[in-house]
Structure 1
Amino acid sequence: MNTYKHAIDNLFPDDDDQRVAALGRYQVFNDEPEPVFDRICELACNMFNVPIAHISFLDEESELVKSSMGLGEQVIRVDRSMSLCAITVLNGSSTVIPNALMDERLAGHPYVYGEFGLRAYAGAPIISNDGYIVGTMCLVSREVRDFTGHEVSLLEGLARIVAEQLELRLENLEHNNRQKSIQDRLMASEARLRCILDTMADGVCIVDENGTTTYINQMAGQIFGVNLLQMQNRSYNDSLWINLRLDGSVLPIDEHPMYTMLKTAAPVYDREIGVARPEKDTFYISVNAVPLFSDQNELSGGVCTFIDVTARRKLMKEKDDFISIASHELKTPITSLGASLQLIKKMKDNLSSPMVPKLIELANESMERLNSLVGNLLDANNINIGALRLNSKAFSIYEMIDACCRQLRIAGEYRLMITGDCSLRMYADQERISQVVINLINNAVKYAPESKVIEINISTQDGMAKISVADQGEGIDIEKIPYLFDRYYRADYKSLHYSGLGLGLYISADIIRRHGGEIGVESVPGQGACFWFTAPLSDQ
């Protein structure tokens, strides 16, 4: 039996590297089916009355029979040394072998001398736009036959159709790559935009022309307590939440900033509304809503940005309440002082009257009250600007507390007990610590009037001096405890009104924090309350 010994080197044209690179552009050298090539092969079999037609591509190592008629449905790979397609590529033009048994190039070739029985072959080059032969349009017969010049011309026409299909494929690949590149850039841009939006301190909500939510950022979900899916099933004015005016009344739909924006196609800025949710606290938001337009300048939706202004509104209300309270609190001693001075003025010619000492005492009390109120205001302002200064020194805790209790003991209405370690000394600003103790004692008197015994205990805690002021009153409601040391907070007792600016505990807490100590309260309703604080011990 003959053995095929054709030299492989003879099958490589000089520009084979460039040719293979040109083939690679089409991304066709793979096992994926190409129906359009199958139809061309079927057409070739019918046109030339041959049993086998195939379209092959040749890379640096093998021939890939990409599509065929008469060779089965599978993609076939042939070593390049066995490839008849390689001969056509080497020739650089159409190759016709009418009798393979008589062709020296195929001596011993297994396709000719084996079971396959190839007898005649015709191959037309498939040429790329830049002139490289990347494959062949082939005809195979098991009988000896010649192909006329007209038939070869027709075969070359089919090869050109395959080349055109390759170019269309390349255009489609390039189009898809461009689209993918655009899509990738768009997705990257959207990802960057989402990242920016999700790091914003403002809530962002995008709606379509019907007001349906299509996007919310993380802050919007945080403020509303929902996710995008939940928001998509809602509108800005549905029955699940109630939108409110600032005065607490229900906000009509035509006053909602989102409705106004969609209705007028004009932006709305800094519109504050309240949102009441079932079983949750009402919160307030400041809304900006800007319309979005299509390429045809038609309203397509809108972008809504908003911030939670609940804390701001609470602070504004606290300030308004504080101004009202402060005006009232200041007016009382000023009025009393003015009345006392007017009466003294009328009695200037009769200073021996028994009323004069009483009026002077009343005037002094009003002045002390006025001085206390102004002092609290100044202290609160100094805290805000960080100007509250401490003048620390060592002093006896017992002596300081005893001095604080002296005036209240003189009145004789309350029993003040100082217990604990009376030998302890503190290193702190004595005047400021006295201010805290007096404030805690006054609070016990004010909010526990039925408690005639107030116990002030001196002890240590974690290496600090600890002073506790306990009463035997009704105690403090547990829901009020977290707010007791807030600025302007004024607790009431059984709905009775008590004077004060709501600054005492706030100032006391700041004084203790500046000393590096802690302040707190322990209370059980019906069993009294115990306010306590810690401050540095003296090592003297």
Structure 2
Amino acid sequence: MSKRSCGYFSLSTEGKIVKINNTLLNWLGYTEAELIDEKFAKLLSKGGQMHYEMFFLPVVSMSKAAKEFSYELIHKDGSLMAVLLNASAILDKENKVIAINAVATDTTERKNYEKELLRSKRIAEQEKKRLEFMADLVPEIIWSATAKGNIDYVNARFCQYFNCNGSDTRASFILSKVHRDDLKSLLQIWYKCLSTGDHLQKEIRLINRDGMYEWHLLKAALFLDEDGNMTNWFGSCANINEHLKALKKKDEFISIASHELKTPITSLKAVLQLLDRMKNDPSHKMLPSLIEKANRNIDKVNSLVEDLLNASQLNQGSLHLNKSLLNLAELIGDCVHHIRIEQRYEIITEGDKSLQVFADEGRIEQVVTNFITNAIKYAPESNQIIIRLKTAGSDIIVEVSDKGTGISAEKIPHLFDRYYQVENNGSKYSGLGLGLFICAEIIKRHGGEIGAKSILGEGSTFWFSLPG
């Protein structure tokens, strides 16, 4: 059976079949005798019968013709066949309809194609919605553009970051969010990519909804179809501001660590060179002072290395606590005894000297020692350092106070941050900025709290609490 053939039939004014060709008979599986004098409507579905009676016949009667009416014919076995009907009226001398000639064109393949096309369209729309849903969950800005570079889609993150709606994808709006120092170079590389099809990758600053500029990594790639035609650009814009700040801090830390380690090592090298010259004269008067200076420098290097090791253990989660019941006053007494200080400093312990805690003795001693050495370093003019032991509910609190120049209020919240160093009168104290950070982590792992308070011109108090 040829799908290109057409079925022909003729109808009487009553709608009965008076002629029908073999093509249509073969399509439907009937013999001519079975259909002649039968109503054509019996070959239509119920919906088709209504349409045939209400529209097809009246149109033919009035217009003397009907073009491209779509119906489904019923095969003898009950299956359906899609056809397109075209009809023309046969008129008598008085211009009245006496018969209808009709042509049925098999549109089964066309209908199947249309159904498949509609199905594919629905699938594509569902896939698009699914991808947009996924894109909206991504913390990065996701976007797409036409082959010519016109933005045609942005995800929810774009709207959140710039406080706008998804339809605002005008080039002027987007470019207004780029830092002016980055705009020219961005446009140059973007236009180059549009002409060459190369991937785009550039770090730029974008202004957020709060008016602050943040660094982003902008990426885009051109999608080519199977024929190699340019279709769309797909891109992302990841916020790398914190990453760059971390890298900057890391570089600064490496520089500080190198400087801090180099200073005592250089001094130690000079001392050793002098000692080498005196090795044959053990009674030289400078020998004791040089040995003491060498030991001080070794202590500095050892302290810096300890801070680095402690910070590394904290990062890896391998800082273990060996807890035991200990007396805080006795622990503080040992700290004071081991800290080398000038005679003019007086360290006084006040409060309940019978207080005991269940803690790691070495780590708590490390915290107390850091507080005392900080008081000496940052408040050299303070002759007295007061250590207080007290309770607050079930917690035990240790305070270390000095009477130095104090620390400004805006610096207090950052004192326990990693790598943070206090500046005083425009100068930065030496150190890696890890001491108080390590102290804070030690206390947190004990289930306690840590903090500081200060009044400019009156002094500072560093404190920590431990569960009683």
Fold-level similarity (TM above 0.5): yes
- Partners of 1:418 and 1:280 lie apart in 2 by 50
Alignment partners' CA distance in 2, 1:405 and 1:231: 66
The reply to whether residue 267 of structure 1 matches residue 207 of structure 2 is no
TM-score, normalised with respect to structure 2: 0.74
Matched, 1:187 2:119: no
Q: Is the 8 A contact 1:253 1:259 kept in 2?
A: no
Matched-pair contact (CA < 8 Å) for 2:45–2:72: no
CA contact 1:198–1:217 (8 Å) conserved in 2: yes
Instruction: Quote the offset at 1:516 in angstroms.
Output: 2.1
Any residues of structure 2 matched to 1:175-254 within 5 Å, and which?
A: 180-209=118-147, 211-222=149-160, 226-232=164-170, 234=172, 238-242=175-179, 250=182, 252-253=184-185
Post-superposition offset of 1:182: 3.2
- Confirm or deny that 1:40 pairs with 2:85: no
Tell me, in whole angstroms, the C-alpha distance in 2 between the residues paired with 1:520 and 1:340. 40
TM-superposed deviation, 1:194? 1.3
Per-residue CA deviation, residues 232-279 of structure 1 (Å, 9 max, x unaligned), is: 46465x3443065xxxxx46335765444224211135x433435696
Paired residue for 1:454?
385
Deviation digits for residues 145-181 of structure 1, max 9, x if unmatched? xxx9999x945417x58xx69x98x999877755543
How far is the alpha carbon of 1:522 from its aligned partner? Answer: 3.6
After superposition, give the CA deviation of every residue in 1:168-215 in whole Å (9 maximum; x if it has no partner).
8x9998777555433322221111111222333543221234544221
Distance 1:409 1:434 in 2: 15
Aligned 8 A contact 2:162 2:208 in 1:
no
Q: CA deviation at 1:314?
A: 1.7
Query: AA paired with 1:184?
Result: R
Give 1:359's aligned residue.
Answer: 290
Q: Size of the alignment, in residue pairs?
A: 413
Structure showing the higher strand proportion among its residues:
2
Q: 1:521 to 1:255 in 2, by over 3 A?
A: farther
Q: Which residue pairs with 2:437 in the alignment?
A: 506
3-state SS of 1:157 partner? strand
Distance in structure 2 (CA, Å) of the matches to 1:413 and 1:280 = 52
Residue 425 of structure 1 aligns with which residue? 356
Matched-pair contact (CA < 8 Å) for 1:398–1:422? yes
Partner of residue 467, structure 1: 398
Equivalence for 1:283: 214
Matched with 2:299 is 368
Distance 1:175 1:278, change over 3 A: closer
Shift of 1:340: 1.6
RMSD: 4.1
Deviates more, 1:335-344 or 1:278-287: 278-287
What's the offset of the Cα at 1:339? 1.5
- Name the counterpart of 2:100: 157
CA contact (8 A) 1:202 1:219 kept: yes
Change (3 A) 1:232 1:529: farther
Write the letter of the residue equivalent to 2:120: I
Distance 2:72 2:374 in 1: 100
1:326 to 235, 238, 257: 257
- Give the whole-Å Cα distance in 2 for the aligned partners of 1:287 and 1:375: 41
Map of 2:45 onto structure 1 = 23
2:6 aligned partner: none
Equivalent residues of 1:287, 1:305 under 8 A apart: yes
Name the CA shift for 1:396/1:219 in 2 (closer, same or farther; >3 Å). same
The alignment-based identity, stated in percent, is 33
Distance in 2 separating the partners of 1:448 and 1:257: 54
Structural mapping, 1:499-538, within 5 Å: 499-523=430-454, 528-537=459-468
Post-superposition Cα deviations, 1:418-444, rounded to whole Å, max 9, x if no partner, equal 333322111111111111112122233
Amino acid aligned to 2:401: A
Q: Greater CA deviation, 392-401 or 445-454?
A: 445-454
**Which stretch has the larger CA shift, 388-397 or 440-449?**
440-449
Q: Which residue of 2 aligns with 1:138?
A: none
Letter of the 2:156 counterpart: Q
CA separation of 1:243/1:483 partners in 2, compared to 1, >3 Å: closer, same or farther? Answer: farther
Give yes or no for contact 2:161–2:209 (8 Å, CA) kept in 1: no
Cα distance between partner residues in 2 of 1:482 and 1:20: 88
Relative distance call for 1:529 and 1:346 in structure 2 (3 A) is same
Contact kept? 1:450, 1:473, Cα under 8 Å: yes
C-alpha separation in 2, matches of 1:274 and 1:309: 10
